[in-house]
Every structure is written in C-alpha cells, then in structure tokens.
Structure 1
C-alpha cells in the first residue's frame, strides 16, 4: 500500500510539472481546444469564429458575419500569442482602434479556458473564453472586475463540416 502511495505521488508530481511546464514554455498547445470553426446565430446573421495553429507560439483567428443573403462581413482578426514571457489575446477589430491590434494580457488560463485583460482599453477591458464541452464555447467581454455588469455573452457551437 505504501509503495502504491509513493508511486502515485511521484506520478502526480511529474504530471503536474509537465502540465505547468507546457503552460509556461511558450507553446500555445494548451489553447489548441480553440482549433476549428465556431458559430453563433444572431439577429443580424451567423458569426463564425475560425481558429488555426499558425506556429508553436501563435494561434490565428478570424471572425466573420454571414448575413441571410450570404454576404460575408469581416469583423476581426485575432492572434493568441506567446510573447516576452506572457500570453496575449490580440484582436484587430474592423472599424475600431484605427484598425490597429489591441493587446490583452492573458492573466489566467488552463486547458479549458482563459481570461485576458487590458485595463487601459475603453471597452472591453476583459475577454474570457470557456470550453463548456468539446462542441461549445462561452465567450464574454466586459468592463473588467470593477464593473462586470457591462458585458456581452457569446455562445458558440462547433461548426460541423
């Protein structure tokens, strides 16, 4: 019994170290659950968010609105990147911020979600994504911890090809 306990503790310690190491080594592997196409129906059309691995340290995303008549409207380009020892969520939104990228530092993350913050940005100040299950994501944008009541929810489902 004592040998099993020691073996379990050793295995647990090694697994914890490997997981923590993977989260901090500059790889975006722990964010790969975002890969693929995600859709959400709105009153104005279908929003599709597509994510793909660009390289070991970057995921590339884009968001497009498809109207009922089939017209596609680009909404934003997104990068989820490891830079200078930190992870960042970096959207470039059409017709906002002079169409310049805005960095949101990822302040917490695990294998099924993250929170990214930029307290100096007008709105949003905080962006979070949570993998609800393998085919569902809940994203939230809000005005930060001080005023989280000003927020928008986005419920995406995995697009079936």
Structure 2
C-alpha cells in the first residue's frame, strides 16, 4: 500500500483556510458606496394596498430606510431600518426586531456587499435570520427576509419598483 505524501493533506488544509478567509472578507468597507443604489422611493402594489420603502443617506456612514403601507389616501408606518458602518463591519437593523434583554434592535452583519446587492445575517436572531437586497437594475429592487420562527420556515419577498 502506497503512503500518501504529507504535503497533499497540508496543501488541502491551506486551500480550505484560504477559501474561508476569502469568504469571510467579502465585505469591504470601501464598498459602502454600493448602497447608493438604495436611495429613493420604492413601491410594490398588492391587493392590500401599496408597500413602500424610502431610503436616504443620513451621513457618510449611515443609511435610513422606512417601510410603509399605503391604502387609499392613508399611509401607515410599518418600520424603520438602518444600514451603518461600525468598526470594521457594516450592519443592518430593523427597529421591530429587538434583543429581548437590551431592547435594542438586533444587528445583522453584512456578509456580502456587491454592486448587485447585499446579504445580511444574524443566525441568533428571532425571525428573520437572513436579509437579502438585490438590485435587478436601476428601477427594480427585491428585498427578501428569510428564517425560522419556532418550527416554521418563513420567507417574505418584496419586489419593488423605483418611483
């Protein structure tokens, strides 16, 4: 029986470590400008009315979003969201998703940020655990909220058009 050279196993280990490092380093703080595509007023018509998100840049490190439901002439604020730089990471928060102990919004760390969108995750969060925003083009944006709530898997997909 032929003995495998030890360096093959070492080479495999080095490749795995490099792949892990590359995967963890997908978000560069210098890519924060990709979020500029979020700016504006986004709407989605449903049978229950119109759902809307309005995003604006607060400063060089912060974006603020607001979701609303519009029915007839009435609008109802549903939630506030933030995207912001903190230290060496970018975070997404939703005001309604709070830490039970502190009462503060839970942070979802951006794991991927590219010109076509971003992925934010917090696997310890109550629903959702994963948030994905994707720009199909300058006028169309999808927002996905995914995760488990108790034993049920849920996914909400919002398909917005820029107004």
TM-score when normalising by structure 2: 0.73
In structure 1, the gaps of 5 or more residues are 1-19
Per the TM alignment, residue 23 of structure 1 is displaced from its structure 2 partner at its CA by 3.8
Per the TM alignment, residue 123 of structure 1 is displaced from its structure 2 partner at its CA by 0.6
CA root-mean-square deviation: 2.5
Label 1:32 to 1:151 Cα distance change in 2 as closer, same or farther (>3 A): same
Per the TM alignment, residue 45 of structure 1 is displaced from its structure 2 partner at its CA by 1.2
Per the TM alignment, residue 115 of structure 1 is displaced from its structure 2 partner at its CA by 0.3
Show the counterpart of 1:38: 42
Show the counterpart of 2:86: 83
2:46 and 2:105 map into 1 onto residues whose CA distance is: 25
Q: Is the 8 A contact 1:28 1:56 kept in 2?
A: no
Secondary structure of 2:105's aligned partner: coil
2:142 and 2:85 map into 1 onto residues whose CA distance is: 22
| Pair member with larger Rg | 2
- The count of corresponding residues between Structure 1 and Structure 2 is 133
More strand by share: 2
2:126 and 2:28 map into 1 onto residues whose CA distance is: 29
Q: Quick check: 1:116 aligned with 2:120?
A: yes
1:60 and 1:123 map into 2 onto residues whose CA distance is: 21
TM-score when normalising by structure 1: 0.74
Q: Is the 8 A contact 1:28 1:59 kept in 2?
A: no
Q: Quick check: 1:58 aligned with 2:44?
A: no
2:104 and 2:44 map into 1 onto residues whose CA distance is: 25
Per the TM alignment, residue 135 of structure 1 is displaced from its structure 2 partner at its CA by 0.2
In structure 2, the gaps of 5 or more residues are 1-24
